[in-house]
């Protein structure tokens, strides 16, 4: 069993790295780490276990908001020389900053007692997790995702609380023939409602419920912060964990082959059957990018929601501000170009612009048939995409950070992040209404 200490409420402020320089470039380390999480690797070039950990660290693709910094604390006099360390860096192809901790002040100040040791710190300099020995990097990465997700959840909950009178803090919405379903990040719950907005059942004890999908008498829930996919029996209200260990699952949909899952932190789409079996990657190499091609080669950038229209699976990429399509074994970008192209523009295809969209749904039947509806979150809008023409049009403006959308008949139900109500948009009249949620 891997032992990794984890501070859910980090209280220990680590010694500052101010004044230390990268041995190779001689630049201040502060230039590399400002505003970012830091993973410190305490090592020495003469330790074979440290070299194994170096190789392990190189195999992992680290998130952009986390920077790896080596802290070389030499045991022998020769190992404490800048020249020796520079040669060691070149020999092993180390491409991240390395500090020469020749006097051992950092090692002592951070209570490091063994090589190698990994310490994960927040951007504010507080220790989040640490581990010593080989084979610990993947575990540390899991702690990073857990901490980052918990921090974002608390930010959203705080926003909901600051509004004062909010009873709920909704995040996603789903509809079937009779009911609405709402994920509530404020209470850590899922609500089952009538189409008129009256809650008649609440299922609690989720970490951060997000994506929802109902089929065959079950409601499937993506519990993002817990890394789980959960099934709720809509007759007995029993809860079954179907899958665990996913990195921030946020979106759910399904077809005849099973459930499809948007796994945000892995930048992939996964799939499994409705009982939790056969869990596998459906699309995405795991690299964060906006890149088309075969499903095993294409790259996503924080996919957050997805839905089927005909034989194509449409995916929203939040960090890529992109709409993607998976069809016949290939991924195609319909809106968006790369990680840094975003904006707010109604246009055709790739000339259109979104800004960190987080939700979508397919319009099937009735008003808005054969359209893709998009929660354009950072633009405070809901937009519609026509797959036949590629045209993107704004439907709803001045929505407060919409994160979820679902079509039921001629109604479009929209969740505004952290709000305790819904927006109901009538597609036939293009009128919007506030829908209060009652118990």
CATH number of the domain at 421, please.
2.120.10.30
**Do 242 and 128 sit in the same domain of this protein?**
no
* Interior angle at CA 51, CA 112 and CA 121, nearest 5: 40
The pLDDT score that the predictor gives to residue 206 is 92
User: Which pLDDT score is estimated for 60?
Assistant: 87
Question: If you average pLDDT over residues 260-287, what whole number do you get?
Answer: 95
Average pLDDT (330-358) is 93
Predicted confidence (pLDDT) at residue 193 exceeds the cutoff of 60: yes
Same domain, 255 and 400: yes
Q: Assess whether 226 and 351 both reside in one domain.
A: yes
Report whether pLDDT(359) > 80. Answer: yes
| 255 & 334 share domain | yes
Final residue of a structural domain among 156, 184, 201: 156
- Assess whether 235 and 352 both reside in one domain: yes
Mean pLDDT within 295-306: 95
Domain that holds residue 257: 170-436
Residues 39 and 103 in one domain: yes
The pLDDT, as a whole number, for residue 160 is: 52
Say if residue 432 is in the same domain as residue 290: yes
User: What is the pLDDT, as a whole number, of residue 163?
Assistant: 47
Confidence of residue 314 (pLDDT cuts 50, 70, 90): very high
Q: Which of 101, 129, 156 is at the close of a domain?
A: 156
Q: What value does the mean pLDDT take over residues 413-433?
A: 91
Whether residue 45 is found in the same domain as residue 118: yes
Is residue 163 in a domain? Answer: no
Please give the average per-residue pLDDT across 84-104, as a whole number: 92
Q: Is the domain of 89 the same as that of 197? A: no
pLDDT score of 299 more than 60: yes
The gap from C-alpha 143 to its chain's centroid, in whole angstroms, comes to 14
Reported as a pLDDT band with limits 50, 70 and 90, residue 167 is low
What is the pLDDT of the chain when averaged over all its residues? 90
Burial class (CB in 10 A: 0-12, 13-18, 19+), 55: exposed
Q: Virtual CA dihedral for 15, 16, 19, 20, nearest 10 degrees?
A: 70
Residue 252 and residue 126 share a domain? no
108-154 pLDDT, tens digit each: 999 999 899 999 998 888 888 899 988 888 888 888 877 776 666 55
Q: Are residues 225 and 336 in the same domain?
A: yes
Residue 1: what pLDDT? Answer: 30
Q: Which CATH number is 69's domain given? A: 3.40.30.10
| Domains of the chain: total | 2
HEC profile of the chain: CCCCEECCCCCCECCCCCCCECCCCCCECHHHHCCCEEEEEEECCCCHHHHHHHHHHHHCCCCCCEEEEEEECCCCCHHHCHHHHHHHHHHHCCCCCEEECCCCHHHHHCCCCCCCEEEEECCCCEEEEEEECCCCHHHHHHHHHHHHHHHHHHHHHHHHHHCCCCCCCEEEEEECCCEEEEEECCCCEEEEEECCCEEEEEECCCCCEEEEEEECCEEEEEECCCCEEEEEECCCCCEEEEECCCCCEEEEEEECCEEEEEEHHHCEEEEECCCCCCCEEEECCCCECCECEECCCCEECCEEEEEEECCEEEEEECCCCEEEEEECCEEEEEECCCCCCCCCECCEHHHCECCCCCEEEEECCCCCCCEEEEEEHHHCEEEEECCCCCEEEEEECCCCCEEEEEEECCEEEEEECCCCEEEEEECCCCEEEEEECEC
162 within domain boundaries: no
Report d(CA 43, CA 59) in Å as an integer: 17
């Amino acid at each position: 069993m891997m032992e990794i200490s984890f501070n859910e409420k980090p209280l220990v402020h680590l010694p500052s790295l101010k004044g230390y320089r990268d041995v190779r470039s001689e630049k201040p380390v502060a230039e590399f780490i400002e505003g970012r999480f830091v993973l410190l690797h305490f090592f020495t070039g003469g330790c074979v276990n440290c070299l194994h950990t170096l190789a392990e660290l190189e195999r992992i693709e680290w998130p952009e908001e986390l920077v790896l910094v080596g802290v070389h604390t030499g045991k022998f006099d020769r190992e404490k020389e800048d020249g020796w360390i520079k040669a060691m860096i070149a020999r092993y192809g180390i491409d991240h900053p390395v500090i020469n901790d020749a006097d051992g002040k950092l090692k002592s100040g951070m209570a490091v007692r063994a090589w190698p040791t990994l310490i994960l710190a927040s951007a504010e300099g507080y220790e989040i997790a640490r581990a010593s020995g080989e084979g610990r990097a993947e575990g540390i990465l899991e702690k990073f995702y857990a901490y980052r997700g918990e921090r974002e959840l608390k930010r959203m909950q705080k926003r909901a609380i600051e509004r004062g009178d909010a009873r709920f803090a909704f995040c996603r919405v789903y509809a079937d023939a009779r009911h609405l379903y709402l994920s509530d990040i404020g209470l850590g719950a899922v609500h089952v409602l009538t189409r008129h907005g009256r809650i008649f059942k609440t299922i609690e004890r989720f970490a951060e419920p997000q994506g929802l999908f109902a089929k065959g008498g079950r409601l499937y829930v993506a519990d993002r912060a817990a890394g789980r996919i959960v099934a709720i029996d809509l007759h007995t209200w029993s809860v079954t964990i179907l899958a665990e260990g996913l990195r921030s699952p946020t979106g759910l949909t399904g077809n005849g082959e099973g459930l499809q899952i948007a796994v945000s932190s892995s930048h992939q789409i996964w799939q499994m059957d409705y009982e939790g079996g056969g869990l596998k990657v459906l699309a995405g190499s795991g690299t964060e990018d906006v890149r088309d091609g075969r499903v095993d080669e294409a790259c996503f950038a924080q996919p957050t929601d997805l839905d089927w229209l005909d034989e194509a699976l449409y995916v929203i990429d939040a960090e890529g501000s992109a709409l993607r399509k998976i069809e016949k074994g290939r991924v195609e970008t319909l809106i968006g170009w790369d990680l840094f192209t975003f904006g707010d523009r109604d246009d055709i295809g790739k000339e259109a612009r979104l800004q960190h969209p987080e939700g979508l749904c397919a319009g099937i039947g009735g008003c808005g048939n054969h359209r893709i509806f998009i929660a354009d979150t950072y633009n405070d809008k809901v937009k519609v995409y026509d797959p036949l023409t590629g045209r993107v049009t704004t439907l709803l403006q001045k929505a407060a950070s919409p994160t979820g959308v679902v079509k039921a008949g001629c109604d479009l139900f929209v969740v505004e992040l952290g709000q305790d109500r819904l927006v109901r948009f009538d597609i036939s009249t293009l009128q919007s209404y506030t829908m209060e949620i009652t118990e």
